[in-house]
Chains A and B, each alone.
Chain A
Amino acid sequence: MMMTEYAGKSLLLAHGVPVPSGLLIHKSIQVQRWRQSYPAAIKAQVASGGRGKAGGVVRVNRQEEAEDAAQRLFALEFAGERPSALLIEPWVEHTRELYLAVTIDGDAGGYSTLYAPEGGIEVEDNAPIKYAFGAPQDFRAHALRALLSPIERDAAVRERVIALARRLLFIATSVDATTVEINPLAVLADGKLLALDAKIVRDEAAAFRQADIAAETTRARKREPRMVQRALAGNLMMVGLDGDIGLISGGAGMTMAGMDMLAAAGLKPACFLDCSSNPTPAGYQLAFDLLDAEARVKAILVSIFGGGTHVDRVAKTLKELMENRKSRKPVVIRINGTGRQRADAILQEAGLHNHPTLESALDAMVAAVQPR
């Protein structure tokens, strides 16, 4: 979950990292509250990257320009999201732009620090150098210094960057952040550093101990399509896709494998739907209710290979569910795993066919949705 720039900068400031003093506005008319000098920067506050390239940051020289720019920015969409707020900041003169980040690095088994002596929106094209230290307790300033020395010749800047890298790591561990990135990090005329932007990504898994992550996760859910909202509320993992085959599966890998096989058979999945987080009668009922109600879904494939999910219980649920189901959309079933033999018996008794392989289930699905 990515924080907006304003929220990220507030967090940096609370930890003693200098940021420009800005004003957050929610309507373009509120530009009038800006009492500081021009030129100023007006920046769309959205929870996605690539804002700079998408025209979300505008320089304005006087108040009339600022009002026009604010109106324009409020009307723009960034990765499908309209900004709910804008941040106005003084346009800060600076001598250089740097890039500094601390981020989760699977290869390192923990965190890495990333640094580039030239920041800005094109930084991804000039790969930053990486200090992969892993566990926070293994961060060593001298090791980072050794890496920075050949590429950062200004010793004063280098030392400030090293101190700030340590601070960003402290912030990341304190607030359960997976990324704390400052790009650009400005060097001012007096040599001090100032964070002109902040990209802080929080770990959704830490919602149980970070109240603001829990609150933001709830808000983010409300931006999802209605079908996805209801699935998530029922503890099912769903991502909406634009196809017409409902896929009810279990486990992320198996669900993706099913999507890939549907695509290879010339069919398009309507969703990624992983029911393994709630493999109960209520969970499967909700999955069917959602897909039955969705007009574009033509048929449903149940593809489950259960380990911790006992498929005999799934079979029992499917039997009861199909007996009471009103929708006439075709359903193709292929379940295997723990309790497979009992599952076969239960389905057979209910007059439901359990396909022996995913291949045969897909053949049946292709036949079921063929135009007659």
Chain B
Amino acid sequence: MSVLIDGASRILIYGIAGNFGRFSARDLVASGSVVVAGVATGRDTTPIEGIPVFPDAHTACRSAGATAAIVYVPAPAALDAVLEVLDAGCKVVVYPGDGLPVQDAIALRAAARQRGATLIGPNTPGLISPGKAKLGFMPSHCYTPGPLGLISRSGSLSYEAGWRLTSAGLGQSCCIGIGGDPVKGLNAAEAIELLHADHETTAIMYLGEIGGSDEYALARYAMRTDAKPTAALIVGAAAPAGKKMGHAAALVGSALDSQATKVAALRAARVHVADTLRSLVDAARAALG
């Protein structure tokens, strides 16, 4: 078993009838993931892209045995849709949407934990275990199997990083997009624990940014005597203080939020830190040893 998903994961796409749901269905099937069901509410249940479609998550899970789900609905509908797939019994759920009220993120995180499930997101492209399974919409060609575990707060930056690592021959065990919001279903500390426990992961690379405190979880982990080697890139050095940089949590309010303070804390914990994307591969190599 790898981290959270593998070839045995049976995937449900909630919101499969929309443009993005259809694209994701084709993309997941092409990547070799096992998509067993789609849910489209308020519409007929004609199969989409050859995938059986159900009117609700409960029926989809009972009829098709789905165990993992990705939910494509806009933020105002997210609370109910994600609760529905959690209630239906899915144990790994990705909610990629952005603009989710933080109250709803708190409620969904608590609901997932109560049911022994893991929520990834909001505001994430999902996760991929290269060569095994994908539960997200990151471009598959950027990834290849290998020993590096990757954690990212940003989707686009993780594709760029994956592509650079793959081009340099550095494969990945699992790439987890934890998302750019302040309250996450799976936060950095929890993602690090998953990669720490995974036997196929020998080193961990973290892609962070200004604002929030997730980067300090990596610094705390790196100081543990049993820690795996770690590397990091923290973006936002050129961002001015007091302005929100796209992500809800990417804002420098105090010194602890800044790129410089985070990098200093990580370096003090002996994390291999890349200054910019230019030295990302070098930092990963240093961590892999």
Residues of A whose CB lies within 8 Å of any CB of B are 79, 104, 106-107, 109-111, 124, 134-138, 173, 176, 178, 203, 205-206, 208-209, 237, 239, 241, 249-257, 259-264, 269, 272, 274, 276-277, 304-308, 336-338, 340, 358-359
New A-B pairs, 16, CB < 8 Å, besides A104-B102, A253-B154: A106-B212, A107-B189, A111-B106, A124-B254, A134-B106, A205-B101, A205-B248, A239-B245, A251-B157, A252-B154, A256-B154, A256-B210, A276-B156, A305-B157, A308-B20, A336-B160
Whether B243 is near chain A, meaning CB under 8 Å from some CB there, is: yes
Q: Is the beta-carbon distance between B183 and A110 smaller than 8 angstroms?
A: yes
Whether B6 is near chain A, meaning CB under 8 Å from some CB there, is: no
Whether B213 is near chain A, meaning CB under 8 Å from some CB there, is: yes
Q: Chain B contacts of A110 at CB under 8 A?
A: 106, 109-110, 183
Q: Is the beta-carbon distance between A254 and B276 smaller than 8 angstroms?
A: no
Q: Is the beta-carbon distance between A256 and B214 smaller than 8 angstroms?
A: no
Tell whether A251 pairs with B156 under 8 Å between CB atoms, given A256-B210, A260-B237, A358-B277.
yes
Q: Chain A contacts of B217 at CB under 8 A?
A: 107
Tell whether A241 pairs with B245 under 8 Å between CB atoms, given A173-B103, A251-B157, A305-B160.
no
In-complex Cβ contact of A208 among B75, B138, B246 (8 A): B75
Q: Is the beta-carbon distance between A253 and B277 smaller than 8 angstroms?
A: no
Shortest Cβ distance from A124 into B: residue: B254
Tell whether A252 pairs with B246 under 8 Å between CB atoms, given A106-B212, A269-B238.
yes
Q: Is the beta-carbon distance between A107 and B155 smaller than 8 angstroms?
A: no
* Whole-angstrom distance between the Cβ of A318 and the nearest chain B Cβ: 17
Q: Chain A contacts of B155 at CB under 8 A?
A: 251, 253, 307-308
Q: Jot down 18 A-B pairs with beta carbons below 8 A, ordered by A.
A: A107-B189, A107-B217, A110-B106, A135-B106, A205-B75, A239-B243, A249-B156, A252-B250, A256-B154, A256-B239, A257-B233, A261-B276, A272-B246, A306-B159, A307-B138, A308-B155, A336-B160, A358-B277
Q: Chain A contacts of B27 at CB under 8 A?
A: 338
Q: Chain B contacts of A254 at CB under 8 A?
A: 154, 156-157, 159-160
**Cα-based distance from A359 to B210 in the complex (angstroms):** 23
Q: Which of A249, A253, A262, A276 has the most CB of B within 10 A?
A: A253
Q: Chain B contacts of A340 at CB under 8 A?
A: 139, 141
B232-285 CB contacts (< 8 Å) to partner A? 233, 235-240, 242-250, 254, 259, 275-278
Whether B135 is near chain A, meaning CB under 8 Å from some CB there, is: no
* Whole-angstrom distance between the Cβ of A204 and the nearest chain B Cβ: 8
Q: Is the beta-carbon distance between B137 and A252 smaller than 8 angstroms?
A: no
* Whole-angstrom distance between the Cβ of B8 and the nearest chain A Cβ: 25
Tell whether A256 pairs with B238 under 8 Å between CB atoms, given A135-B107, A307-B155.
yes
**Cα-based distance from A253 to B23 in the complex (angstroms):** 23
Q: Chain B contacts of A106 at CB under 8 A?
A: 182-184, 187, 212-214, 249
Shortest Cβ distance from A251 into B: residue: B156
* Whole-angstrom distance between the Cβ of A237 and the nearest chain B Cβ: 5
Q: Is the beta-carbon distance between B239 and A259 smaller than 8 angstroms?
A: yes
**Cα-based distance from A124 to B100 in the complex (angstroms):** 29
Tell whether A260 pairs with B139 under 8 Å between CB atoms, given A252-B154, A254-B156.
no
* Whole-angstrom distance between the Cβ of A201 and the nearest chain B Cβ: 10
Whether B58 is near chain A, meaning CB under 8 Å from some CB there, is: no
Tell whether A203 pairs with B103 under 8 Å between CB atoms, given A208-B76, A252-B250, A305-B163.
yes
Number of residue pairs spanning A and B whose beta carbons lie under 8 angstroms apart = 180
* Whole-angstrom distance between the Cβ of B137 and the nearest chain A Cβ: 5
**Cα-based distance from A53 to B208 in the complex (angstroms):** 32
Q: Which of A176, A256, A272 has the most CB of B within 10 A?
A: A256
In-complex Cβ contact of A79 among B110, B242, B249 (8 A): B242
* Whole-angstrom distance between the Cβ of A207 and the nearest chain B Cβ: 9
Q: How many chain B residues touch the partner (CB < 8 A)?
A: 67
Q: Is the beta-carbon distance between B160 and A257 smaller than 8 angstroms?
A: yes
Shortest Cβ distance from A206 into B: residue: B101
Tell whether A337 pairs with B139 under 8 Å between CB atoms, given A241-B240, A250-B156, A254-B154.
yes
Q: Is the beta-carbon distance between A137 and B75 smaller than 8 angstroms?
A: no
Q: Is the beta-carbon distance between A239 and B106 smaller than 8 angstroms?
A: no
Whether B91 is near chain A, meaning CB under 8 Å from some CB there, is: no
Shortest Cβ distance from B278 into A: residue: A359
Q: Is the beta-carbon distance between B277 and A107 smaller than 8 angstroms?
A: no
In-complex Cβ contact of B152 among A250, A253, A264 (8 A): A253
Q: Is the beta-carbon distance between A176 and B101 smaller than 8 angstroms?
A: yes
In-complex Cβ contact of A307 among B156, B240, B275 (8 A): B156
Q: Chain B contacts of A173 at CB under 8 A?
A: 103
**Cα-based distance from A107 to B157 in the complex (angstroms):** 23
* Whole-angstrom distance between the Cβ of A290 and the nearest chain B Cβ: 17
Whether B125 is near chain A, meaning CB under 8 Å from some CB there, is: yes
Shortest Cβ distance from B100 into A: residue: A205
Q: Is the beta-carbon distance between B276 and A257 smaller than 8 angstroms?
A: yes
Q: Is the beta-carbon distance between A263 and B106 smaller than 8 angstroms?
A: no
Whether B130 is near chain A, meaning CB under 8 Å from some CB there, is: no
**Cα-based distance from A236 to B96 in the complex (angstroms):** 19
Q: Chain A contacts of B107 at CB under 8 A?
A: 135
Q: Chain A contacts of B210 at CB under 8 A?
A: 256
* Whole-angstrom distance between the Cβ of A105 and the nearest chain B Cβ: 8
Q: Chain A contacts of B187 at CB under 8 A?
A: 106-107, 109
Tell whether A307 pairs with B139 under 8 Å between CB atoms, given A110-B183, A173-B103, A359-B278.
yes
**Cα-based distance from A107 to B142 in the complex (angstroms):** 30
In-complex Cβ contact of B238 among A249, A260, A306 (8 A): A260
* Whole-angstrom distance between the Cβ of B105 and the nearest chain A Cβ: 9
**Cα-based distance from A233 to B51 in the complex (angstroms):** 38
In the complex, the 9 A-B pairs of residues with the closest C-beta atoms, listed nearest first: A253-B154, A251-B156, A252-B246, A253-B157, A254-B156, A135-B110, A206-B101, A256-B235, A259-B238
Q: Which of B101, B212, B249 has the most CB of A within 10 A?
A: B101
Q: Is the beta-carbon distance between B156 and A305 smaller than 8 angstroms?
A: yes
**Cα-based distance from A209 to B101 in the complex (angstroms):** 10
Tell whether A237 pairs with B125 under 8 Å between CB atoms, given A306-B139, A307-B159, A308-B137.
no
